[in-house]
A and B are shown apart, each in its own frame.
Chain A
Amino acid sequence: MDQLKEDLKKHIIEQLNLEDIQVSDIADDTLLFNDEGLGLDSIDALELIVLLEKFYDIQVTKPEEGKEAFMSINTMADYISKRKAQQAV
């Protein structure tokens, strides 16, 4: 799980061009869409959806799922793990 979170942080920094941000700057519970967190916007939310499909083969088809899943690195990692488990069944 820790490796998944580290990879997620790297992908987010790269995919969203967060050039001033280091992996160490993002705590697992940093709020992604809060100005006191990473301050992401609606376009970034679309990029996160693309990121999940590109790197994890996960399609976010229900908007309400994304709202929960994209709160923080912790919630994203949980979401990926659950979806992967469902895919494995």
Chain B
Amino acid sequence: MSFITSYCHLTNESCLVNGQHIAGRDSESTDSWLKQLYKKQEIVYPKFYKMDMLSQTGFILTELLKKANPKLANAYQDDEIALLFANRFSSVDSDVRFQRSYQQTSPSPALFVYTLPNIVLGELAIYNKWYGENMFAVLPKFAADFYVSYAEILLSAGSEASLCGWLDIADEQIHAFLFFVEKEGEGLAFNSENLQKLAGTI
């Protein structure tokens, strides 16, 4: 049996880690909501500013999970943490921005590199040096069974843990849910019923 050892939710208004509200968007700030969260993390990673919203969301929420679960940093070999993500809208916001860039001015390479949804996995792998299995699926809706089935396969084939996420972003509306699954640890049993309950706000 595996366990969901930590999880977090992000919408355009609030951020919750393990069900606890940890931050709300400051509507008076000139910074974007994701930038507000980034600044709270006290990390210096200038590449964050170049990322699209999909990657920024995945990056920030992963940092929050690491903070909630500090042993993550050293508990696993660099190829033992799998990344299993999905969403409904692929990389549509970046696709549209890139399309505008080449229709209105000149095509932007910096936008082009984000016109695939799985780029967020590359960003996480590079920053965290997590080189395990990875998968990004585009699904019609959040599907707990997908995560349970796929993660169990990964965990039975060499991975010791899996960072999983639903990163639904379109028209700058964010509905994100990340959760960390480990073979051993304290948390909810990793099954469809528990996952569906945790994802209830999606």
Which A residues fall within an 8 A CB radius of B?
15-21, 39, 41, 43-44, 46-47, 50, 53-54
B141 interface residue per 8 A CB criterion: no
Contact partners of B46 in chain A: CB under 8 A: 18, 20-21, 39
Q: How far is the CA of A47 from the CA of B109 in the complex (A)?
A: 6
Out of B105, B106, B109, name the residue touching A43 (CB < 8 Å): B109
Contact partners of A54 in chain B: CB under 8 A: 105-106
Which residue on chain A has the smallest CB distance to residue B46?
A: A20
Which residue on chain B has the smallest CB distance to residue A53?
A: B106
Contact partners of A47 in chain B: CB under 8 A: 108-110
Which B residues fall within an 8 A CB radius of A?
35, 46-47, 49-50, 105-110, 113
Which residue on chain B has the smallest CB distance to residue A48?
A: B109
A18-B49, A43-B50 known; 11 new pairs, CB 8 Å cut-off, are A16-B50, A18-B46, A19-B35, A21-B46, A39-B46, A43-B110, A43-B113, A44-B110, A46-B109, A50-B107, A54-B106
Shortest CB-to-CB span from B99 to chain A, Å, is 16
Question: Are A17 and B108 in contact, CB atoms less than 8 angstroms apart?
Answer: no
Which residue on chain A has the smallest CB distance to residue B109?
A: A46
Which residue on chain A has the smallest CB distance to residue B113?
A: A43
Q: How far is the CA of A44 from the CA of B49 in the complex (A)?
A: 13
Question: Are A19 and B109 in contact, CB atoms less than 8 angstroms apart?
Answer: no
Question: Are B110 and A19 in contact, CB atoms less than 8 angstroms apart?
Answer: no
Shortest CB-to-CB span from B46 to chain A, Å, is 6
